[in-house]
Structure 1
Amino acid sequence: MLRTRRTEERDESGLQRLDPDRFAPASRKRLSAPALRTFLAIADLWGLNEEQRLLVLGYPSRSTYHNWAKQAREHGAFTLDVDTLTRISAVLGIHQALGILFPDERAGLAWLRTPHDALVFGGHPPLSVVTSGTQDGLMTVRRFLDAARGGIYMHPNTLDERFAPYEDGDIVFR
């Protein structure tokens, strides 16, 4: 099925409205298994234990979590709720940002596990905020990393530390 891009919908105040089809059960069902498989791979990479995985996912029951994982591994069909998919999306964004900001996985994981002095982390490792059980904790780390990707704040990485500013003679006009 070919989907065309919808025109932007706005409410009477001019604010953009979300596409209601985005949250439709059919869309969520289509995304649920691949999203959970990807989450499980990232959780393995990050070394999350079962309790931490449950907290990140919004604390479903253990039997529900194991059923989802089994269905996802077997490419079965199930439908996650909007909250759980939003949480998984935040994890994917955090993982992607770490891959952009750090030269290798080990450095990104070290950042996640090291206490941080940014006010939003309060001296705790970002991973403890991710695994706090709240969607807000996930989004806080995601937004922090997105800001860092945009150059707003973060200590320079090794590539940045070695960067030498351009000189006038380095600029070539053609």
Structure 2
Amino acid sequence: MLATAHLFPKLPERQDFSAEADRARLSKVAFKAYKRLVEQWGLTGQQAAALLDVSTSTWERLKRDGKEKHLSQDQLTRISAMVGIYKGLHLLFADDMADRWPKLENKAPLFARSSPIASMMKSGIPQMLEVRRYVDAVRGGL
């Protein structure tokens, strides 16, 4: 029998935020990053709350208190996708378009003439992941 381990190295485990210890460790920095992203993109409280999947009053309380609870697996996934979009846009655009693009109407079929923010608010995590793939594809020239 031939040893094939060197041909198929073990891939790093994919982060899925399912472990409570991971969520506890990542929540503070993720929430801080999300608050900065909300500010950079100029989102309203309603938009920020919808994208994080919390009520507007909960968002305002979290933002005001500065004390996030341990974020859920879904919330961490949402933040991860949006931070990826943010990063991709800042690699793609060298000006303020990187922060304006998420709120602009988009003619691409993925957005159906709405803004990326509106489409992500409507369709949640699956759309957030699609927007991230879209930005990465455009940035990569696909």
TM-score (norm: length of structure 1): 0.66
Asked if 1:28 corresponds to 2:23, the answer is yes
Q: CA RMSD in A?
A: 2.5
C-alpha distance in structure 2 between counterparts of 1:124 and 1:40, whole Å: 23
After TM superposition, the structure 1 = structure 2 runs for residues 59-138 of structure 1, keeping only pairs within 5 Å, are: 60-70=54-64, 73=66, 78-104=69-95, 106-132=96-122, 134-138=124-128
Unmatched tracts of structure 1, length 5 or more: 1-6, 10-15, 153-174
TM-score under structure 2 length normalisation: 0.80
Q: How far off is 1:133 after superposition?
A: 5.4
Q: Which of structures 1 and 2 has the bigger CA Rg?
A: 1
Q: Give, in whole Å, the separation in 2 of the partners of 1:50 and 1:122.
A: 24
The answer to whether the Cα contact below 8 Å between 2:50 and 2:56 also exists between their aligned partners in 1 is no
Matched residues, percent identical?
A: 31
Structure 1 range deviating more: 42-51 or 120-129: 120-129
Structure 1 or 2: larger helix share? 2
Count of residues in correspondence between the two structures: 134
**Relative CO higher for 1 or 2, CA cutoff 8 Å, sep ≥ 6?**
2
Counterpart AA for 1:100: L
Letter in 2 for 1:65: W
- 1:161 aligns with none
- Note the residue ranges of structure 2 that are not aligned, 5 or more in a row: 1-8
